[in-house]
Structure formats: structure tokens, C-alpha cells
Amino acid sequence: MPPFSQRSIASRLFLSAALWILLILTTAGVLLTAYFRTTTEHAFDERLGVYLRSLVSDVAASGDDPKSEPGEFGDPQFDLVMSGWYWQITRLDSDVKNIRASRSLFAARLPKLQDLGVAQGVGGARSGYAQGPDGRTLRILERQISVGDSGLYLVQVAASTEEMETQIARFELALGVTFVALAAGLLASVAFQVGFGLRPLRQLQMAVGAVRRGEADRIAGEYPEDVAPLADELNLLISANRDVVERARTQVGNLAHALKTPLSVIVNEAGEAQGPLADKVREQTAIMRDQVAWYLDRARAAARAGAIGAATEVAPALGGLMRTFAKIHRDKTIEAAPVPEGARFLGEKQDFEEMVGNLLDNACKWATRDVQIAVARAPAAAGRQALDIVIDDDGPGLPEHLRAEAVRRGRRLDETKPGSGLGLSIVTDLAAAYGGALTLEKSPLGGLRAHLRLPGA
């Protein structure tokens, strides 16, 4: 997975928005849950406070009268054993243990919050949590009151927190479901907004790709005001590139004519003379012609390779070469596998014909009888396509240590075969100009295999 800095704009926008959405919703959920817990706890304390005040009133009215029965709240839970709802009144200023409690406590006793280190609140009351006689967590409210000569008492009311925790759990579940649905809706909205907002950039990408593949000569379409200047600048860049390539072709043509005329004059003058000097002049002018032709071809190829938007249909171009070489080499069998439908070379037609033609010519010269050619698509860098053109012959082949020598400019490994020795080197340089490559390998037919990789459109 690529680092965040290398991700696409769409994924960066979506991930950053998703992060903020999740962070905000999580924070809101935590705060709302804490607020609901506080509110629920306060309401629970208000309920217990009613019972506590009722007990305090009973104790203040009856004191330590054994005949009095405080805690008549009309709530049956205080009469059910271990129901979770309890009250207890304890006298504190007497050596004799004088404790009255609800029937629900049975023989058990409530813990004192003061002994647990709970600080007093407003009005001298304490509220807190403690473990009850049956192991359940209790919410306890207690208050210490003095009834004059009747004594000092500690009044306590307690209830199990199960009811409160159930309410909080239901709220958390409802809140979680709501926030998950809200997050899903927000993320879907963000995804739609990012996709809709970046659609002009994808359209611009496809338009640039169409120009690169040769399907269009300029970027067309209407774009928003913040993208339209970029499209205009790219169109100007494409036009400037074409102008530069055209000027380069013109200059190369002019240079070719300017050099060929003096060379022709020198050859003609040397042809009328005899002797070692004339022979040397003729030899060197022939080399100069080859060199000039090679460098001019290379300059033309470099200019054409730098052009934007040139593309060549492989099938018709290869078909024309096959018919031509079938007539030239009637004693050889040239076979071609079916070309993939829609296969295109990202470059000029004449360069494609020159590269494949040189390789076919070399294969036909050395083949005993059979020459085979196949074209296939292959993946390339940055999601682009490449073309693999493979030409096999059944000739004598070429030792591995001589294959690098064979592609050197002007290098001929067998002087008995016609040619200048520039064919394979021209193919190598042309392929390199287009970002491709030529490799020589051993052929399954027994001879040489030429593997040419070129950019596909």
C-alpha cells in the first residue's frame, strides 16, 4: 500500500474527510454518553432522595421509639427479600447497636459511605457506589441527622444500579446504531462529492490519453473555470511540440540536401581520377555517405519520437511489410501469427516499418527457409501498454557473445551477406528513442530471435 503522500487526490480527500467524520462522531458519542449517564444518575439520585427525606422526617418525628415504623413508602420492593431496594437507620451515639432496616435487607447490613472514604456533599449528605449484600452494585444515599435528646442517626437508602445501567446501555446502543448510520451516510456523501468534484480531472486525463494514443490532435471538451486554463495550456504545449518537431524535420531535410550535394561533387571528381588518392577519396566518401545517412535517420527518428499524438495501426503496417518481403525473398516462407485486435504502435508509421522491416530483412537473409513473426500486447509501467514483436528464423543463429556486437553501428559479422551493417543498430536506436528495446536471443526454430519491445497506444 502506497504511503499517504503518494495516494491519489480522490483517496486523500476521502480518507481525510472520513478521519474527521469518525473523530467528530466518536467524540460526540463519548460526550453524549457521559452526559446521559450523568443525567440518568442525577434522576436516580432524585428518586432515592425522596425516600431519604421521607425517612429523615420519620426519624425526626419518632426518634428512637420502638413502636414507630419508618419507611412506609408504599413500594413493595422494600418488602421483598434481596430485591435490590433497601433502607437502613443506625443510631450512632449509643453503645447498644440500634439498627432498623427494610424487610428486603433481611439479616444483612448496608455499608457506610463514610467508612469507604466518600466525602460529604451539599447539606451533609453523601452519595456513592458500594457492593451490596448480594454482590450487586448499589447506589447509596446517606445522611447523618441529630434529633436532640433522641440521639444521632445515620439514615441510608440504597438501590441496585441494574435499572440505571440498563437505561444507559439502551441509550448507548441506540446512539451507536444512529451514529453508524450517520457515518455511513456521511461517507457515502463524501465519496459522491469527491467523485463529482474530481470528474473534470478524470475527463482531462482521458482527453490527454486520447492525444497521446493518437486518437485526437488536441484536448477537447468543456471544463470548469479552475481546470479550463490547464486544458488550454496543454493544448498550447501540444501545438508547440508539433511546431518544434516540424522545424526539426525541415532542418534535418535541409542538412541532408546541403551535405549530399558536396559529397556527390567529390565522388564525381574522384571518379574521373585514377590512383591511390582517388581510391581513398571514393572509400572515405562512401563511409561519409553512410554516416550522414545514419545520423540524419537518427535525427529524424528522434524528432518523430518526440511528437505527441502519433500512432500506427500494427496490422495493416505489418501486412504491407509481409507482402513486400514475400516478393523479395520468394524462396523463404514468412508466416505471421494473428495480430491482436486494435494493436497500435505509439509512434510514426515509417519508423515502425523501418524497425520491423530491418528485422525481417535480417531474418530473411539468414533464414534457411522459415521466418515467423508474432505480435503481442504486454503491460508496461504506469498502467500503459507495450507491444512485443518477436521475429524468429531457422538460420545458423548467433553465439551469445556476438549478439552485442551485432547491434553496433556499422558492425558486420559476415561480409558475404549484402548490407551496410547499420540495420540492427538503426533498430536499436529507433527503439530506444521511443523508450523501447531490442534484444537478441536463441530462437526455438534454431536460429536467431529478435525481440522488439515498443510502446503501445
Q: From CA 108, how far away is CA 411, in angstroms rounded?
A: 110
* Residues 101 and 88 sit within 8 Å (Cβ to Cβ): yes
Report residue 160 as a C-alpha cell: 441496585
* Share above pLDDT 90 across residues of the chain, in percent, rounded to a whole number: 25
DSSP-derived 3-state class of residue 452: strand
Report which residue type is found at 10: A
C-alpha grid cell, residue 424: 540492427
Looking at the fold, whether 277 and 317 belong to one and the same domain comes out as: no
175 within some domain: no
Residues 254 and 321 occupy one common structural domain:
no
Residue 231 has pLDDT above 80, yes or no: yes
**Model confidence at 411: pLDDT above 50:** no
DSSP strand pairing (99-101 vs 85-91): antiparallel
Average pLDDT over residues 92-107: 81
Tell me, yes or no, whether 285 and 361 share the same domain: no
Domain holding 125: CATH number?
3.30.450
pLDDT the model gives residue 303: 58
Q: For residues 439 and 390, what is the distance between their CA atoms, to the nearest angstrom?
A: 10
Numbers of helices and strands, H then E, in the chain: 9, 12
Q: What is the pLDDT of residue 416?
A: 42
Q: Is 191 domain-assigned?
A: no
40 lies in the same domain as 146: yes
Q: Is residue 278 part of a domain?
A: yes
Question: Is 91 in the same domain as 65?
Answer: yes
Question: Which of 167, 184, 211 is at the close of a domain?
Answer: 167
Parent domain of 255 = 243-305
- Residue that is last in its domain, among 145, 167, 189: 167
pLDDT beyond 50 at 127: yes
At residue 281, the pLDDT reads 77
Q: How would you label 124-140 residue by residue, b for 16+ Cβ within 10 Å and e otherwise? A: ebbbbebebbeeeebbb
The answer to whether residues 147 and 57 belong to one domain is yes
Segment holding 331, helix H or strand E: none
Please give the Cα distance from 292 to 259 (Å, whole number). Answer: 8
Which of 144, 167, 190 is the C-terminal boundary of a domain? Answer: 167
Could you tell me if 299 and 349 lie in one domain?
no
Mean pLDDT of 283-290: 76
Give the pLDDT of residue 383. Answer: 63
Task: For residue range 273-282, list pLDDT tens digits in order.
Answer: 677 777 777 7
Whole-angstrom Cα distance, residue 289 to residue 324?
Answer: 26
Tell me: do 15 and 163 sit in the same domain.
yes
In this structure, are 249 and 369 located in the same domain? no
370-406 pLDDT tens trace:
999 999 988 876 667 888 999 999 998 888 878 777 7
pLDDT at 67 over 70: no
Q: What is the pLDDT of residues 146-205, one digit of tens each?
A: 887 778 888 999 999 998 999 999 999 999 999 999 999 999 999 999 888 888 888 888
pLDDT 10s digits, 323-334: 998 888 888 888
In a domain, 143, yes or no: yes
**CATH number for the domain harbouring residue 395:** 3.30.565.10
